Structure 1
Amino acid sequence: MTLTHDDAQPGDPTPTAPSRSASQADATAASPGPSAEPGDRRRARERARLTRTRDPRVVIAVLAFSGMVAALMQMLVIPIVPSFPELLDADPADTTWIITATLLAGAVVTPIAGRLGDLYGKRRIVLVLVVVMVIGSVVAATTSELVPLIVGRALQGTALGIIPLAISILRDTLPAERLGGAVALVSATLGFGGAIGLPLSAYISVTFDWHVLFWTAAALGVVVFALVATLVPVSTLKTPGRFDLPGAIGLAVGLTGLLLAVSKGNDWGWASTSTLVSGLAGLVVLVAWGAYQLRVASPLVDLRVAVRPAVLLTNLASVALGFALFGSNVSLPQLLELPAETGVGLGQTVMVASLCLAPSGVVMMFMAPVAARATARFGARLCLVVGGAVIVVSYAVAALAFREVWQIVLVSVLIGFGIGLAYAAMPTLIMHAVPATETAAANGLNTLMRSLGTTSASAVVGLLLTANSVPFGDASVPTEAGFRLTFVLGGAVALVSVLLALAIPRREPEYERVALPTGPVRTS
């Protein structure tokens, strides 16, 4: 399939990796003689602009910051969720849509944005998503009503699609020797952006009016837009084709039905008509969508690529790892914040609890270069196995020791270590197994799989803790057995990710042009 550049002019030759002679020819074309026609000079200037290089460190820093801001949107309101019924004068069951809408929007938009990036330019779609995020932030910042706030949070949730696009931009623009570390860093933003964002959100919500959270998000979005527009190069690869609108609608409807059943099952009742109808309808639509994708000429998601063993097993492992990460994000803050009088909780404030979990995000960030070197030396598959194994150990420690604050911090740091290693390996495995024309779509699908894991974790962990609760004053609180069962489940799911990673083929036939260039990085 032909590859082009974002801003290539009609009639321009298709750019490819230049040889020495081609580079010399480009240099000659970039400086036309005095007899050149005006159109030739214009095309020469355009080629020079497209081939102008940026400092790779600047590009990496901008895209990593963009990914961190996108991840922050997912966790932005977590510290004030219990206060929303009072702040908005709304029913507690209704205010849960503030979280649900964000998760749904992120899950639905991410694979669609990836495909749009492959077709129309990845940087261009990143900028569109940033604009949508800023609009959502402003909507949320200017309202004290439930429905507009839900709409604003849904618009903020679309920012999740920035992360796979950023990874794909790195693949298109960086030299091979810098690619591993950069991909590891941006991939890890999905974890450390949320972990670092928790104390930031807690501080803002405690110190200022809660609307300041959304004004801060809007300001960060403006900064991201300016940085991406001015510092990220436009010469990212794309492929010609048509956007599969029916496929996008089918995926959106199917995912919405399925995720609604998973995320609202605790509120609606798992055997309720609403849950069953939503879940079954979503599954039926997704099955029909899959059949359609196999027949359409330019599918939203190439399922023939998605079922390749390396891609399929990595994506399934992503679901399990997303569950393991978010399971700790749900259970550990509750354990820290529950009153000590319950006999289970550690009696910490929201701010202190957020600071206790922040080191996990710092570990994920600093693990990025370590993970890149480990992937290059030992292979992405082994790094995924080791990362999952560390998370298994982390949950084993949690199940045995969670009565002191330092034990919770230790568990959180260990989980951050494992997630940092595993999340760095997954994009490498994916990009070694997909064609260059589908880099963003494949990374978008992988991010969607992580989102499915996090959404499932929120529902399942909530169900376990609710089912193992005892009365405390006017409310119910989870028991020690409930938390221990949650940790055992998290470890079991992490163990599943290890088994899936072990099943990934050590060697697999590659496409003529795989998404990840050959170089020092190994997949096995």
Structure 2
Amino acid sequence: MSLSQDPAPLSPPAAPGDPRLTDARDTGRWSASELRRLTALIWPGQLLVVAGIIAANSQPQIAQHFHTTQIAWFSLAFTLATIVATPFAVRLGDMYGKRRVMLALAAAGLVGDLVTVAAPNYPVMVIGRVIGGLYGPVAVLVLAAVRDLFPPRKVAVALGTVAGSVGVLSMLAPLLSGWLLDAFGWRGALWFLVASTVVAILALLAVPETPRRAVAERLDRSGALLLGGGLALVVFGVGQGRDWGWTSAAVIASFLGGLTALAVFVTVELRVANPILDLRMLGRRSLATVLLGSSVPQAAFFASQAILIFLALFPPIPHVSDGLGWSTTHNAVLGIPAGIITFAAGIGVGRAVRTVSPRSVWYMGLGVLATGLVLAGLYHHDAAQIVLTGLVMGLGGGILMAGQQAMIVSVVSAEEQAAANGLSSLLTQVFLALTNQALYTVLAADSTVFHGTAFYHDAAFTHAYLTMAAVVVLGLLISLAIPRLGRPADTAAHDLATPPTTARTA
């Protein structure tokens, strides 16, 4: 899809009697068109969750098929492409409309999926994953589009539903993944992802275009390349550190190159008139503390999911491995209750922040998640313990994912929504890469290598869960600096009555 079409007009400020202001005072009942719109946004926004689970579970078969020891590039290539593409996508979404940009990114992702599934060799497959990674920013744009497409009173619930739906998908995707891989092999699983991307494109076609939030002007390509390239180099260095050695010349060069690019990016962006990401936004205490305080614990929550995979699926071998030896399907079934409560928590947060400060809800989520991780570190030896601790972690994780969006809505204007979500996504991805590295380092400290594979002792799982709990506590300490926040519905209603050129002060 071309981005050269005439962009949608800038959305005018709402005047008295504007239907958007009327919606802000409505009874909260949802119309059929709003429900269709919400449903259409869920799959494109959460496809990355399903794709990530299926792709991760496909890697062992792919590595054996292509006889490669570089299987890490299967996921790393996708992540790096997403990091580079995100700042471009956010800016283009503001300039040309988010729906148009999401369709273009989804089309590119479909091409990448096709190259990946039909790849005759592993290097071609990695190229396909790079192209497929261009779909990544769609998740950011979906969340930003919610604010443009729903009345202010319903924004928080819509965001909570879209964000919380990850719980249901995380519950079903492992079951689906196991069936696809067992019945059709890795190519069958990847063909399912091709079909899923097609469905996402069809869903986006049913979504109205969003207002243009920025004048079509010269794109800050240098800023985007410095930001994307700098972050990509840092993440690359983290990803290769364990294999190449943290003091190797290549890893050190990656870190130095990435940090230098990021330093130049900050200098350049503070001087240009129309930056790819407005770093001046971070000069506001409210936004800076919300983005940093929410990205750190979310990274810990996502990283902690890998602990259960090793714990549940690795076999029990005396003096070698303390895994539980479950099948993928059995593990997925036991994860269903946690998935349900994660989804329910997301919807509950959307309703709660109508009357309760999102900051208070956020603190509760951090406390619940940290408690769940500590309990999981102490009690993870049978199915009952896994289910019960999973419920606590799922509740905390659901509150966090939906609560983050409620806080962002409370501290930015509608015009800043996409940029704020872009910053949040980039920070979360960077912290996730760092947290994953810490996780694998902790696990390796209590492991035994047997026939070329690292197996983990019980102490490794305990220390890994406690480490993730410590990261969540770090996020809580950062979050204590978040100032008092308004309710999302009140904030959104204020935006409608304020001209788009009016900046909100901290």
TM value normalised by structure 1: 0.85
Q: Which has the larger radius of gyration?
A: 1
Q: Decide which of 71, 76, 91 is 1:100's aligned counterpart.
A: 76
Note closer, same or farther for the CA distance 1:188–1:149 as it changes in structure 2 (3 Å cut): farther
Which residue in the other structure is 1:20 paired with?
Answer: 17
Measured in 2, the distance between the counterparts of 1:67 and 1:126 equals 10
Work out whether residues 346 and 401 of structure 2, in 8 Å CA contact, stay in contact via their aligned partners in 1.
no
Gaps of 5+ in 2: 21-30, 496-506
Q: Offset at 1:479?
A: 1.6
Structure 1 segment 108-127 matched on structure 2, within 5 A: 108-127=84-103
**Structure 1 residue aligned with 2:134:** 158
Task: Give the superposition deviation at 1:204.
Answer: 0.8
Q: Which residue of 1 aligns with 2:434?
A: 456
Residue 474 and residue 242 in structure 1: after superposition, are their counterparts in 2 closer, same or farther (change >3 A)? closer
Identity between Structure 1 and Structure 2 (%): 27
> What does 1:415-494 align with in structure 2 at a 5 Å threshold?
415-494=393-472
- CA distance in 1 between partners of 2:345 and 2:493 (Å): 23
Equivalent-residue separation in structure 2 for 1:355 and 1:507 (angstroms): 39
Distance 1:431 1:88 in 2: 46
Q: Which amino acid in the other structure matches residue 466 of structure 1?
A: A
User: Cα gap change, 1:113/1:208 in structure 2, threshold over 3 Å: closer, same or farther?
Assistant: same
Determine the structure 2 residue equivalent to 1:30. Answer: none
Calculate the TM-score normalised by the size of structure 2: 0.88
> Taking structure 1 as reference, are residues 74 and 107 closer, same or farther at Cα in structure 2, changes over 3 Å only?
farther
Distance 1:423 1:470 in 2: 35
Q: How does 1:59-458 map to 2 (within 5 A)?
A: 59-90=37-68, 92=69, 94-189=70-165, 193-194=169-170, 196-229=172-205, 231-240=206-215, 241-342=217-318, 344-458=322-436
Are 1:314 and 1:504, in contact at CA under 8 Å, matched by a contact in 2?
yes
Conservation of the 8 A alpha-carbon contact between 1:74 and 1:157: no
* Larger deviation, residues 295-304 vs 433-442: 433-442
| Residue deviations 1:457-507 (CA, integer Å, cap 9, x gap) | 322211221222124455331121111111111111111122222220115
Matched residue SS, 1:477? strand
Shift of 1:358: 4.4
Q: In structure 1, the residue corresponding to 2:324 is in which secondary structure?
A: coil
Q: Deviations for 1:319-344, whole angstroms, at most 9, x for unmatched residues? A: 32232222222111100011122451
Deviation at 1:255, TM superposition (A): 0.7
Shift of the alpha carbon at 1:392? 0.5
- Kindly state the Cα deviation for residue 420 of structure 1 after the two structures are TM-superposed: 1.1
Offset, 1:431: 2.8
Shift of 1:120: 1.3
Q: Distance in 2 between matches of 1:109 and 1:345?
A: 38
Task: Give the superposition deviation at 1:171.
Answer: 0.6
Paired residues of 2:289 and 2:482 also in contact (CA < 8 A): yes
CA distance in 1, matches of 2:129, 2:171: 19
Provide the C-alpha distance between the structure 2 equivalents of 1:382 and 1:474, rounded to a whole number of angstroms: 48
- Counterpart of 1:16 in structure 2: which amino acid? P
1:208 partner SS:
helix
Contact 1:309 1:504 in 2 (8 A): yes
Structure 1 residues 161 and 358, CA, compared in 2 at 3 Å: closer, same or farther? Answer: farther
CA distance in 1 between counterparts of 2:334 and 2:180 reads 17
> What amino acid sits opposite 2:208 in the alignment?
P
Counterpart AA for 1:461: L
Q: Secondary structure at the match of 2:455?
A: strand
Amino acid at match of 2:241: G
For 1:242, what is the secondary structure of its paired residue?
coil
> Cα RMSD (Å) of the superposition?
2.7
Provide the rounded CA distance (Å) in 2 between the counterparts of 1:313 and 1:421: 18
State the alpha-carbon separation in 2 of the partners of residues 189 and 447 from structure 1: 17
Partner amino acid, structure 2, of 1:17: A
Cα 1:180–1:362 shift into 2, 3 Å: same
In 2, the alpha carbon distance for the partners of 1:454 and 1:304 equals 24
* 2:322 alignment partner AA: V
Aligned residues: 478
